[in-house]
Amino acid sequence: METVDDVFLVFEFFDTSLRRYIDNCFLFDIRGREKFFLRQALTGLAYCHSLKILHRDLKPNNILVSFRDYPDIGQIKLCDFDVAKTFEPPLSPYSNKMGIPCYKAPELLMGSTRYSTAVDIWSMGCIFAEMIKLKPLFVGIDEVQMLTEIFCLLGAPTQESWPGVSSICAFIEHLIDPSIMPKDLVLEFPNLDPAGLDLLSKMLCLCPNGRISAYEALDHPYLRD
């Protein structure tokens, strides 16, 4: 009986990742190409969500870049679906321990185990912001630091702006200071036009039910140009 001793895995070749593309500014310049990167990545994400798949670990490392004819970009693709999950309403409890804090949605940082596609939109919003700033938007090393940074930028959530927020985790009342007001995104992102600021604010909406969907984002005026 013939046996096979070797297994060969053949993968599509991509030149680099978005992480390296942003970091190697002396080789690449992402300025002016943010729309292309975001449109391509959201197209892939919208397809995943249409198949009821949550990626759950979106970050620049998991977005691959290929060159058509250097430095022209060919394709952008999502990768690393190790912690991806399928979902069906009504939503079942899921783990919130995957991913790194910098790109995790606030509901995950608070410990929520019932979440949906909005967690991927938040991650993509953080990536969008990073392409503009050329550095991560949030850099806390743990959940508490991350939530503090998020609230300092976007303001403190309230029961009115995020119904049920105080019931998500036990320590949230110690983090929420009603006096914390959101910063002006125009000052935080001076190089982003009004349409881009509007899309970013809708992707980084604190309340998950208020976040824009991937399909809605693709139809946003910022990405229709």
List the chain domain ranges: 16-89+98-224
- Of 21-30, 76-85, 156-165, least confident by mean pLDDT is 21-30
- Of 19-28, 77-86, 192-201, least confident by mean pLDDT is 19-28
Q: Is the previous residue joined to 90 through a cis bond, with omega within 30 degrees of 0?
A: yes
> What is the phi-psi region of residue 76: left when phi exceeds 0, alpha when psi lies from -120 to 50, beta otherwise?
beta
Can you state the angle between helices 118-133 and 194-203, rounded to 10 degrees? 140
Asked if the model's pLDDT at residue 55 lies above 70, the reply is yes
Say what the pLDDT of residue 199 is. Answer: 96
Return the CATH number of 16-89+98-224, one of 3.30.360.10, 3.30.465.10, 3.40.50.620, 1.10.510.10.
1.10.510.10
pTM for this predicted structure: 0.90
Say what the pLDDT of residue 89 is. Answer: 74
Mean pLDDT of 29-48: 89
Tens-place pLDDT, residues 1-23: 566 778 887 777 777 888 988 88
Distance, CA of 168 to CA of 195 (rounded, Å): 32
Say what the pLDDT of residue 100 is. Answer: 85
Residue 202: both structure tokens together: 């809708």
Distance, CA of 191 to CA of 132 (rounded, Å): 8
Say what the pLDDT of residue 208 is. Answer: 93
Say what the pLDDT of residue 32 is. Answer: 77
Tens-place pLDDT, residues 166-176: 777 656 666 66
Q: Indicate the residue type of 210.
A: G
Q: Indicate which residues carry an active-site annotation.
A: 57
Say what the pLDDT of residue 54 is. Answer: 94
